[in-house]
Amino acid sequence: MQKCENCKAQFSWSKIYKSFWWNYKPIKCSECGTIHKITIAGRFIFVSLTILPMLIFGNFLSPFSNIIVTLGIAIFILIIGSLFPPFLVTYKESL
């Protein structure tokens, strides 16, 4: 999990998770107040684990002819995929 580059305090999973859903909102360290922004690579990781699998399933791999079932499973894939990026994305100290 990501740590503050200044004081090495660890960011909470929920703080990182919330920053994804608010347009990649910068994270402020609760210990020293340093602001960290998500890197471009971190944004690609987030999209690769959430949006991309959902779209691939919904458009190409869905075995269901019912649109409601397809949408339900695609949203389930989105939710499950969004649980992992807080462990994988990187943030850099904002200048």
- Strand-by-strand arrangement of the 91-93 sheet: 27-28, 35-38, 91-93
Amino acid at 89: V
pLDDT in tens, 40-61: 999 999 999 988 998 888 888 8
Query: Nearest-CA neighbor of 89 among 14, 9, 22, 17?
Result: 17
**For the chain, what percent of residues have pLDDT higher than 70?**
100
pLDDT at residue 4 above 80? yes
* Cα-based angle 8, 32, 10 (whole degrees, multiple of 5): 35
pLDDT level of residue 87 (50, 70, 90 thresholds): very high
Q: Tell me the residue ranges of DSSP E strands in 1-95.
A: 27-28, 35-38, 91-93
Q: Rounded to two decimals, what is the model's pTM?
A: 0.77
Residues 6+ apart with CB under 8 A from 22: none
Contacts of range 74-77, beta carbons closer than 8 Å, 24 or more positions apart: 77/53
